[in-house]
């Protein structure tokens, strides 16, 4: 067909008729995409009709035009086809489109060029899911450009959800646990745990070593001085020391502090544990002498660590919050400017069954001290024995089984200086570089 024979004319939409036996199903999403394209660019192709103005190709274009309220559409009339040719033409038009393939590197490059110019990529006809797949490597949803996977570069993808059930996470945890050894000896006769979160993560609550590593990597640097006024077990001190940091922990229970010191000494790590009350941290830590605060404080009375009345786990909720607030606020004066503080916590229910608000009050106390509330992450734990109890709890009181903890990140100082002060996060244990 030559150009002279390819005539395009405008017809009223009421004069163009869909083919009643059209085998191609047209969804509303397709119509919306074509309508958006027509609105932005106009008609790239006319609607093809036969001598009776029945559509051979262009059903979606007609529906899109109708959705836009257009009164006329561009039409090309093919009046020289037999009935058999018309049927075959309709099938071939759809089938040929299906057989087309993208050159994905070129396609991605074109999309990236449009993206860099702040062009609305949805006008290309691709939906959000398709664009995400095209603009991120298909083979790895956690990829970080050409540098490798996010798990490799950052220890875990820097998302707001940290999933301890992932294989890469568990593998690192096993490696750490094999190095550190058993951490529960000093608690065997004193620990009492209750509630779904503690029962789901184990009879003895221990800090996840992979979490400790990731927090050191993301928010610390080698040679930083880290501290914790609610030190507990030796996991964080051991991990921080192994990554080239110095660590000072304050631990109320003497047996735990002694065990921790024994472990870090045997490993020749720059870490020490002081047997004292968290409220006395100012006696042991000088003002603005620390580079990183990390803590997983007691979850009120969820666990009982000792019989000591100064132990937060033995206090009423009102007394707990009073001491808890004072200790957290005191960390601010111990930390240098332009440094991070991380608090790992979770919710606790009162005797009446209500949450006591441990997470929001932790945020409140830190912010009132002067910190910026910078990041919030959810740490997902394995279910453990939770499935055995969650159904019963749901039926009895509509309570869901809690299998996550909250990782709250705060910043002291000027957030604009974070990049210059911290540099970039890299892959190996304690490897950081400044740019």
List, for residues 47-79, the tens digit of each pLDDT value.
999 999 999 989 999 999 999 999 999 999 998
User: Which class for 153: exposed (0-12), middle (13-18), buried (19 or more C-beta within 10 A)?
Assistant: buried
Q: Are 383 and 391 a contacting pair, CB within 8 Å? A: no
Rounded to whole angstroms, the maximal C-alpha distance in the chain is 98
- Statement: residue 434 has pLDDT above 50: no
Interatomic CA distance for residues 106 and 233, integer angstroms? 53
Non-local (6+) Cβ contacts of 312 within 8 A are 230, 278, 297, 298, 300, 320, 323, 324
Residue positions counted in the chain: 435
Tell me what the mean pLDDT of segment 360-371 comes to: 97
DSSP state of 25: -
Whether this prediction's pTM lies above 0.85 is answered by: no
| Pairing verdict, β 246-251 and 225-228 | parallel
Q: What count of Cα atoms within 13 Å lies in the side-chain half-sphere of residue 374?
A: 20
Position 327 scores a pLDDT of 95
Interatomic CA distance for residues 233 and 191, integer angstroms? 12
- Statement: residue 346 has pLDDT above 60: yes
List, for residues 235-287, the tens digit of each pLDDT value.
999 999 999 999 999 999 998 899 999 999 999 999 999 999 999 999 999 99
Q: Which residue has the higher pLDDT, 174 or 190?
A: 174
Domains of the chain are: 3-99 (3.90.1530.10), 104-135 (no CATH), 152-433 (3.40.50.150)
List, for residues 402-422, the tens digit of each pLDDT value.
889 999 999 999 998 898 888
Position 5 scores a pLDDT of 62
Interatomic CA distance for residues 391 and 399, integer angstroms? 9
**Which has the minimum average pLDDT: 203-217, 338-352, 369-383?**
203-217
Helix axes 235-242, 254-266, angle to 10 degrees: 20
């Amino acid at each position: 067909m030559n150009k002279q024979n390819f005539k395009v004319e405008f017809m009223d939409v009421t004069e163009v008729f869909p083919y009643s036996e059209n085998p191609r199903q047209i969804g509303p999403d397709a119509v919306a995409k074509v309508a958006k394209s027509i609105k932005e660019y106009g008609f790239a192709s006319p609607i093809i009709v036969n001598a009776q103005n029945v559509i051979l190709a262009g059903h979606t274009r007609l529906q899109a035009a109708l959705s836009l309220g257009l009164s006329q559409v561009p039409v090309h009339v093919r009046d020289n086809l037999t009935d058999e040719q018309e049927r075959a033409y309709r099938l071939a038009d759809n089938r040929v489109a299906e057989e087309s393939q993208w050159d994905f590197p070129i396609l991605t490059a074109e999309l990236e060029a449009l993206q860099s110019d702040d062009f609305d990529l949805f006008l290309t006809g691709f939906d959000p899911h398709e664009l995400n797949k095209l603009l991120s490597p298909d083979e790895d949803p956690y990829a970080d450009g050409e540098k490798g996977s996010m798990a490799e570069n950052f220890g875990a993808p820097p998302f707001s959800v940290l999933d301890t059930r992932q294989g890469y996470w568990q593998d690192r945890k096993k490696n750490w646990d094999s190095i550190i050894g058993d951490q529960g000896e000093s608690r065997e006769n004193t620990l009492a745990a209750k509630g779904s979160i503690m029962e789901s993560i184990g009879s003895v609550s221990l800090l996840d070593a992979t979490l400790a590593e990731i927090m050191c990597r993301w928010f610390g640097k080698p040679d930083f001085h880290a501290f914790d006024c609610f030190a507990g077990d030796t996991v964080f001190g051991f991990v921080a020391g192994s990554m080239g940091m110095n660590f000072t922990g304050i631990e109320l229970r003497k047996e735990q502090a002694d065990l921790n010191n024994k472990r870090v000494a045997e490993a020749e790590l720059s870490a020490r544990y002081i047997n004292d009350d968290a409220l006395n941290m100012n006696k042991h830590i000088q003002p603005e002498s620390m580079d990183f605060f990390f803590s997983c404080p007691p979850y009120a009375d969820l666990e009982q660590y000792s019989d000591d009345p100064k132990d937060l786990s033995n206090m009423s909720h009102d007394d707990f919050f009073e001491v808890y607030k004072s200790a957290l606020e005191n960390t601010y004066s111990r930390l240098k400017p332009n440094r991070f503080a991380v608090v790992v916590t979770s919710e606790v229910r009162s005797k009446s069954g209500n949450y006591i608000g441990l997470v929001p009050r932790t945020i409140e106390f830190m912010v009132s001290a002067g910190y910026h509330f910078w990041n919030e992450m959810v740490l997902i734990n394995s279910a453990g024995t939770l499935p055995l109890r969650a159904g019963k709890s749901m039926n009895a009181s509509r309570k869901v089984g809690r299998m996550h903890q909250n990782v709250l990140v705060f910043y002291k100082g000027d957030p604009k200086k974070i990049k210059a002060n911290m540099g970039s996060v890299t892959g190996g244990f304690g490897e950081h570089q400044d740019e």
